[in-house]
A and B are shown apart, each in its own frame.
Chain A
Amino acid sequence: MATSSTAAQTGPNTPSDSLPEHLTLDDRVGLLRAMLLMRTIEERAMNLYRQGKVPGSFYDGFGQEAVSVGPAWAMAAADRLCPLHRDLGAHLVRGVAPWRIMSQYMGREAGITHGRDGNVHFGDYRTGCVGMVSMLPDMMLVATGMAMAFKLRSEQRCALSWFGDGSTSRGDFHEAMNWAGVQHLPVIFVLENNQFAYSTPLHQQFAVNPVERAEGYGFLGTSVDGNDAEAMFEATRAARARALEGGGPTLIEAVTMRMHGHAAHDDMKYVPKALFDEWRAKDPIDRQSARVAAQGVDVDALKAEVREQVEQATQKALEGEMPDPATATERVFHPRDAEEVLLEDGTAPWSGFPE
């Protein structure tokens, strides 16, 4: 299989002893905290799904937490993000409250979409995030368009879009890569190579690893260990710095593995056990936990704190109302005389940004 080399690029699950150049200990703990929060929320939500409290199906990013948390940590408040359905961590970094996410999963009025869309199909415009659509990778073009506006207005800002390995087969991938290359835009494309698009393995998706295509579009493509939050942060930080200096787009391939089924109903019987076991040993949370524990951080206490936070969020969400059926036909069009609504700045916790 031509693409198995990508898996081989990921390093062994050994903690890095030295402090990374651009991350303080607070940053490193923050990365771990966001990943823990993502995993704990999704585990709790899967439990709610099995109890019949989450309608439809449920999608999560178990095992891929570093892919969204690392890049989101590198993005400034004024930057704009298009997270995908396995990127809950990006929403958490940008400041969406866990109880609203739980409300979202359960179709409650207090959810980010007020029950109008489900699971991770949301974007809180007040955090600078645009919600995904199921047609992948449509949001690559939206991110490209945002970057185009930033460049036209000479603003020092950047846009970022995540998408999966399956997305690289569709035309919008090509149109966005080409457009961003032609116009030399400040946009970062994060390809989540998680080995399967639903059940389809990589060798049935592409003949050439998509990261190699970046060069053909006139910009840099780089392959990163997608289970290493700090490596993902660093690759994104560098891509962002390059974009703001006029260096154009970057394609970052995050090599990872989807450790759950495509959705809650998927038993993953198509995944070879050896592959699964190989990736279980590379868990991104275990890796980051070992790193910060080596710096004297009490990881167990952090985990307990996150569990408590998620439990409180769950209870608050469970107390919330379902949406009023009478509102189902409202807000299809924005009223002409209403105040203009645009994406707003999100939280940017990285210590490297000026206060």
Chain B
Amino acid sequence: MTYLQAISEGLRSEMRDDERVLLMGEDIGVFGGAFKVTDGFIGEFGIDRVMDTPLAESGIVGTAVGAAIVGMRPVCEMQFADFVACGFDQIINVAGKMFYRQGLPVNITVRLPSGGGFSGGPFHSQSPEAWFMHSPGIKVVAPSTAEDAKGLMIASIRDPNPVVYMEHKNLYRRVKGDVPEGSYETPFSARVAREGSELVVITYGAMVNTALEATEDLDTHSGTGGASIMVLDLRTLKPLDEPAILSAVRACSKVVIVDEANQTCAAGAQVAALIAEHAFEDLDGPVVRVASPDVPVPYSPPLEQAVLPSVDRVREACRQLLEY
């Protein structure tokens, strides 16, 4: 099953189990969504539960908040993660602070098809997860495998708080994997994608696959043979799985952190700060970061490839750190 089919499976499973679950978004009903995540849903669940909304991102999130506090469990699709900027205020100021201020939880899930790599240009390629990590009261998840895509979707819908679900567009049809049948939840915690002992690459989303490819059978410049490299898939960015991160650092002593997002204040910056604060004595070299520079994601393939972290960039960063 593809990553995309797994997201659909998670949504379908919860909609069958819980009539409070309601999908809202632009072109998600009759058309089945810009990426076809909800293709065929309207036939099974009807137009009320697979709602084609006006083109209004603030409206989608704001009305979802209202529906949630009277007992619905809305899942909002932003057609592209980039468009969530138009619904930002409702997530940050209304949904994120409601429980703290008034004891009223807001059970909404906001799906953000994110990431670049296919010439989407500056407004169809962003990775805005850090916007939400920085604001209290919002959980942020970012699956990298088909199994986790389904399990995290189910867990996000069941979580009583606002959850921003980052789904990487570049994984939709490229990533395939076995997905358990029936209903299950993936916990909001990190996962060791590959064991290792000499260096750990800490990352999430599409960069998990980039990291796995970059470090598979990685030889150093000095030619000492395949290095033992761990890849830690964060899976959830808020809350960060701090014990898993610190444990990986203790086990490997060398750390490369990879973000597809712009580097300043990215999720990886928080991981680096955490390590500096709590695992300084466990390090055997500087913490190395690989991320997109602070530029909009450009359109033309050579420009885009120059910006997004590549397999080669991650491999070279690991090589250099291994030789430190």
With both chains docked as a complex, state the minimum distance between the C-beta of B93 and any C-beta of chain A, in angstroms: 5
For residue B241, CB closer than 8 A to chain A, the reply is: no
Q: When the two chains form their complex, are residues A131 and B101 in contact, meaning their CB atoms are under 8 A apart?
A: yes
Q: When the two chains form their complex, are residues B67 and A178 in contact, meaning their CB atoms are under 8 A apart?
A: no
B66: contacting residue among A141, A331, A340, CB under 8 A: A141
For residue A34, CB closer than 8 A to chain B, the reply is: no
CA distance A17 to B93 in the complex (A): 47
Most buried by A among B53, B59, B90: B59
CA distance A117 to B101 in the complex (A): 6
- Residues of chain A within 8 A (CB-CB) of B59 are 141, 144, 172, 175-176, 178-179
Q: When the two chains form their complex, are residues A175 and B58 in contact, meaning their CB atoms are under 8 A apart?
A: yes
For residue B65, CB closer than 8 A to chain A, the reply is: yes
- Residues of chain A within 8 A (CB-CB) of B105 are 334, 340-341
Q: How large is the interface on A (under 10, 10 to 19, 20 to 34, 35 or more residues)?
A: 35 or more
| Number of A-B residue pairs having CB atoms within 8 Å of each other in the complex | 138
For residue A123, CB closer than 8 A to chain B, the reply is: yes
Q: When the two chains form their complex, are residues A80 and B70 in contact, meaning their CB atoms are under 8 A apart?
A: yes
Q: When the two chains form their complex, are residues A145 and B67 in contact, meaning their CB atoms are under 8 A apart?
A: yes
Complex A-B: 20 CB contacts under 8 Å: A122-B101, A131-B98, A134-B93, A141-B62, A142-B63, A142-B65, A144-B63, A149-B72, A175-B56, A175-B58, A176-B62, A178-B54, A178-B56, A332-B100, A332-B136, A333-B137, A333-B139, A335-B160, A336-B160, A343-B70
For residue A56, CB closer than 8 A to chain B, the reply is: no
Known: A125-B102, A125-B103, A334-B99. A149 touches B71 (CB 8 A): yes
Which B residues, 90 to 113, have Cβ-Cβ distances below 8 Å to chain A?
Answer: 90, 93-94, 97-105
- Residues of chain A within 8 A (CB-CB) of B53 are 179
Q: When the two chains form their complex, are residues A125 and B104 in contact, meaning their CB atoms are under 8 A apart?
A: yes
Q: When the two chains form their complex, are residues A342 and B62 in contact, meaning their CB atoms are under 8 A apart?
A: no
- Residues of chain A within 8 A (CB-CB) of B93 are 133-135, 138
- Residues of chain B within 8 A (CB-CB) of A122 are 101-102
CA distance A99 to B258 in the complex (A): 53
B residues with CB within 8 A of A: 22, 48, 53-54, 56, 58-59, 61-72, 89-90, 93-94, 97-105, 136-137, 139, 158-161
1/0 contact string of A138-157 vs chain B (CB within 8 Å): 11111111111110100000
With both chains docked as a complex, state the minimum distance between the C-beta of B123 and any C-beta of chain A, in angstroms: 18
B62: contacting residue among A144, A331, A338, CB under 8 A: A144
With both chains docked as a complex, state the minimum distance between the C-beta of A65 and any C-beta of chain B, in angstroms: 24
Q: When the two chains form their complex, are residues B66 and A144 in contact, meaning their CB atoms are under 8 A apart?
A: yes
Known: A332-B137, A342-B71. A145 touches B103 (CB 8 A): no
CA distance A125 to B71 in the complex (A): 13
- Residues of chain B within 8 A (CB-CB) of A171 are 58
1/0 contact string of A64-77 vs chain B (CB within 8 Å): 00000000000000
With both chains docked as a complex, state the minimum distance between the C-beta of A60 and any C-beta of chain B, in angstroms: 20
A331 to B, closest residue via Cβ: B100
With both chains docked as a complex, state the minimum distance between the C-beta of A78 and any C-beta of chain B, in angstroms: 10
CA distance A143 to B101 in the complex (A): 18
Known: A142-B62, A142-B65, A149-B72. A341 touches B104 (CB 8 A): yes
For residue A121, CB closer than 8 A to chain B, the reply is: yes
With both chains docked as a complex, state the minimum distance between the C-beta of B10 and any C-beta of chain A, in angstroms: 17
Known: A149-B70, A172-B89, A175-B58. 17 other contacts (CB 8 A): A117-B102, A121-B101, A122-B101, A124-B102, A125-B69, A125-B103, A134-B93, A138-B62, A141-B58, A141-B59, A148-B66, A332-B136, A333-B137, A333-B161, A335-B160, A336-B158, A342-B104
With both chains docked as a complex, state the minimum distance between the C-beta of A329 and any C-beta of chain B, in angstroms: 9
Most buried by B among A112, A122, A331: A331
B59 to A, closest residue via Cβ: A175
CA distance A113 to B68 in the complex (A): 20
A145 to B, closest residue via Cβ: B66
- Residues of chain B within 8 A (CB-CB) of A121 are 101
For residue A116, CB closer than 8 A to chain B, the reply is: yes
- Residues of chain A within 8 A (CB-CB) of B104 are 123, 125, 130, 341-343
